[in-house]
Homo-oligomer: A and B are copies of this chain.
Amino acid sequence: MSTYIGIDVGGTNLKAGLVSEDGALLATKKMPLGVWESAEVFAKTLVRLARELLAEYGMSEDSIEAIGVGIPGLVDSAKGIINYTPNIPMREVPITALMQREWDIPIYLGNDANCAALGEYYAGAGRGARSLIVVTLGTGIGSGIVVGGAIHEGFNGAGGEAGHMAIVLGGELCNCGRRGCWERYASATALVRLTKRVMDENPQSLMWKLCGEGEKFHVSGKTAFAAARKGDAAAQAACDEYLDYLAAGVANLVNILQPEMIAIGGGVSNEEDASLLLPLRERVAEVDMARNGAKERTRIVKAQLGNDAGIIGAALLYRSAKMKEERDGVV
């Protein structure tokens, strides 16, 4: 079975993984991104990380078919260029060519959220589905769309940004500059903000006790769910409000795209099904246009691969590229 390397580039760390063609993660290695020097040094660092991972696992370079790199930003996957990364100073960096100076091997590029979706599609929650959208609830909302084995990147690489659809016209200001974006209401960050607001409005809520005391006082994305499970009414109201926001965006994706499956990832998705997945499904089912006569409905499930989705998906970028190539040949 062929083996691939996936590299997940984060804002502070680089993570590489050795991945089999069916998406099994054989080994991983992490290193800090470090102080930024130049695109050339960055490319060399990525290749060094890949080589060190291989050496630790005792494999030779010949046994690797391709490397895939997931980038937190905008890439031109066809040309192998990083167009823009908000948190790393890269503009129009021909990363594939720079890496190939060090190691002459096929190299594929993808956006990190799209890589996570691709990983879930081939090796996680989406196995067997023809179309999948992965929604990751974190600092923001990451999302990726995979149809028929290939990432839907948009014609310019900037697609799949479902976190920046407006669900509240003229609503709260998002970091992206738009008002009312879904991620401003349904990310993990938004859940914490909402929880704090409801706590302030309800000084008697159990949520205060669950947050600890003094320096240990800490409101998290779990606070409202934990207190709600213990019967706290204010906490339940906070959860209900959050679920309304989450369901609004999920239902929009369902009505626009009707994917076979939507997988929810990120820390928030670890809540019990009774707290998160089931009420989410109920809310979406009520407004899904497919309820009028379609034989099947989009399944809403939990993502399965956690933080590994990005590495695995990056390693499998060659499969997305191959699908796209064969289709473009057709079209």
Task: Give chain A's interface residues, CB within 8 Å of chain B.
Answer: 73-74, 76, 83-84, 86, 91, 130-131, 145, 147-149, 152-162, 164-171, 176-178, 180, 185, 244-245, 248, 251-253, 255-260, 286-290, 292-298, 323, 326-328, 330-331
Q: Closest Cβ of chain B: how far from A295's Cβ, in Å?
A: 6
CA of A185 to CA of B170 in the docked complex: distance in angstroms? 14
Whether A256 lies near B162 (C-beta < 8 A) is yes
CB–CB A158/B327 < 8 A: no
Contact A169 B294 (CB under 8 A): no
Question: For A245, what are the chain B residues with a Cβ–Cβ distance below 8 Å?
Answer: 169
B83 close to A293 (CB less than 8 A): yes
The residue from B83, B159, B326 contacting A257, defined by CB atoms under 8 A apart: B159
- CA–CA, A288 and B165, complex, Å: 10
- Residue pair A157, B294 in contact (C-beta under 8 Å): yes
Tell me the complex Cα distance, A156–B255, Å.
Answer: 11
Q: Which residue of B lies closest to A148 (CB)?
A: B331
Query: Nearest chain B CB to A245's CB is how many angstroms away?
Result: 7
Are B86 and A154 within 8 A (Cβ)? no
Write out the residue numbers on chain B whose beta carbons fall within 8 Å of the beta carbon of A148: 327-328, 330-331
Give the distance in Å from the alpha carbon of A326 to the alpha carbon of B323 in the complex.
Answer: 12
Q: How far is the CB of A24 from chain B (nearest CB, A)?
A: 21
Across the A-B interface, the 6 shortest Cβ-Cβ residue pairs: A154-B258, A84-B293, A159-B258, A158-B290, A165-B252, A178-B287
B295, A177: Cβ atoms closer than 8 Å: no
Q: A86-B292, A169-B248, A292-B84 are in contact. Are A159 and B256 (CB under 8 A)?
A: yes
Number of copies: 2
Docked-complex contact A287 and B177, CB < 8 angstroms: yes
Q: Are B165 and A168 in contact (CB under 8 A)?
A: no
In the complex, which residue of chain B has the Cβ closest to the Cβ of A129? Answer: B155
A175 CB to nearest B CB, Å: 12
Best-surrounded residue of A91, A161, A168, A255 (most CB of chain B within 10 A): A255
Per the bound structure, the CA–CA distance linking A170 and B169 in Å amounts to 11
Q: Contacts A248-B169, A258-B155, A290-B158: A83 and B295 contacting too (C-beta < 8 A)?
A: yes
Within 8 Å CB of A244, what residues of B? 169-170
Residues on the B chain within 8 Å of A248, using CB: 166, 169, 180
Choice from B260, B288, B328, B331 contacting A155 with Cβ under 8 Å? B260
Given contacts A148-B331, A155-B260, 4 further A-B contacts (CB under 8 A): A130-B155, A165-B256, A166-B248, A256-B257
Looking at A83, A145, A252, A253, the one whose CB has the most chain B CB atoms below 10 A away is A252
